[in-house]
Amino acid sequence: MSRKPIIAGNWKMYKTVKESVDFVKQLEGKLKDVTDREILVCPTALAAASVVDALRFTNIQVGLQDAHWENEGAYTGNISPIMLKDAGVHYIILGHSERRQYDNDTDHRINAKLKNVLRSGLKAIVCVGETLSEREKGQTEKVVETQVNGCFEGIGLGDLAGIVIAYEPVWAIGTGKTATPEQANEVHSFIRKLIGKKYNAEASEKIRIQYGGSVKPENIKQLMAQLDIDGALVGGASLKVDSFTAIVRF
C-alpha cells in the first residue's frame, strides 16, 4: 500500500504576519507543480488567517501548532479547533515535545485535544518521542508505547484517517543531531506494529508516520528511503524558503 508523503513545516514562535505571508508567497511559486505529496506550513495562530488567504487555491495546506480541548469558554489565551477550522486551517499539531515540556501537555490532555480536533473536522499530527536519557536507559519503545496509548485512548478505527503520527526523538529536535535513518525507522516500524495491535493490519499499513528532529535538505532523502517513514515534521529548516523547498522535493 502506498502512503502519500506529508512534509510539514513547524514554524514555532517565528515570523511576524508579514514575514509569514511573504514567505508563503515565495514558497507557493516554487512548489506549484508538486502534486504527489502533501505540503503543510504551521505558522503562529496570529498569522494563520493571513497565511490561509495567501495560500487559497494552492497545493499548500495550513496547520496550527496547538488547539484547545473545548470549543469555547473561559480559557484565557487559548484558541479552539472550531475557530481554526472557520479560519481555513486544515491540520493541528498536538503534543509537540516543546508543548509537553513548557505548556503542560500530558498524554491525557493531548487525547482530549485530539478528540476535539477530530470532532471539529480537522486533521491532527500527534507527536511522540523519547528524551536522550530515556533512550540511553533503553526505554524508547516503552515511552513511545505509553504516549501512543495515552494519546489514542478512545480513538476509534474510523478516526485514524484524520491522524498522522510524528515520531520526534526529543534529543534530535533543534540540536543538529538527527536519528540515523535506521534508528528512526526502527521506532517507526515499532509504532506501526503498535497501531496494528490496537486496531488492525489495514490501519497499520495506512497510517502515516512522519519523522521530526533536525531534518535538513542533506538528510531527507535517506530518511524518506526508509520503509516506514512517510514524511517529515521540520522545524529550523522550514524557516527558509530554499531549504524547505529542497526538503519538500527530496
Q: Say whether residue 110 binds ligand PGA (CB under 6 A).
A: no
What single string gives the DSSP state of each residue in 43-73?
--HHHHHHHHHHTTTSSEEEEES---SSSSS
Closest CB to ligand PGA among residues 82, 187:
187
Question: What is the closest distance, in whole angstroms, from the C-beta atom of residue 98 to ligand PGA in the complex?
Answer: 7
Torsion of CA 174, 175, 180, 184, to 10 degrees: -40
Footprint (CB under 6 A) of ligand PGA, residues 167-196: 168, 173-174
Closest approach, Cβ 10 to ligand PGA, in A, equals: 4
Q: 3-32: which residues touch ligand PGA (CB under 6 A)?
A: 10
Q: Is 174 left (phi over 0), alpha (psi -120 to 50) or beta?
A: left
Q: Give the range of 76-84, 138-146, 182-190, 208-216 binding ligand PGA by CB under 6 A.
A: 208-216
Nearer to ligand PGA, 54 or 173 (CB): 173
The nearest distance, CB 234 to ligand PGA, in angstroms, is 5
**Residue 168 bears catalytic tag:** yes
The residue among 204 and 238 lying less far from ligand PGA, judged by its C-beta, is 238
Dihedral over Cα of 112, 115, 117, 119: its sign: negative
Annotation says 188 is catalytic: no
Long-range pairs for 154-159: beta carbons < 8 A, 24 or more residues apart = 154/111, 154/115, 155/111, 155/114, 155/115, 155/118, 157/199, 157/200, 157/203, 159/118
Catalytic residue among 96, 98, 130, 188: 96
Q: How far is the CB of 240 from ligand PGA (least distance, A)?
A: 12
Residue nearest to ligand PGA (CB): 235
Could you say whether residue 234 binds ligand PGA (CB under 6 A)?
yes
Helices (H) and strands (E) in the chain, counts: 11, 8
Residue 104: CB minimum distance to ligand PGA, A: 18
Q: CB nearer to ligand PGA: give 204 or 226.
A: 226
235 scored as a contact of ligand PGA (CB under 6 A): yes
**Ramachandran quadrant class, 76 (left: phi over 0; alpha: psi -120 to 50; beta: rest):** beta
Q: Does the protein bind ligand PGA through residue 213 (CB under 6 A)?
A: yes
Q: Is 2 in contact with 12 (CB distance < 8 Å)? A: no
Instruction: Report the interhelical angle of 140-151 vs 181-198 (nearest 10°).
Output: 40
- The catalytic site residues sit at 96, 168
Query: Using CB under 6 A as the criterion, which residues of the chain lie in contact with ligand PGA when the complex forms?
Result: 10, 168, 173-174, 212-215, 233-237
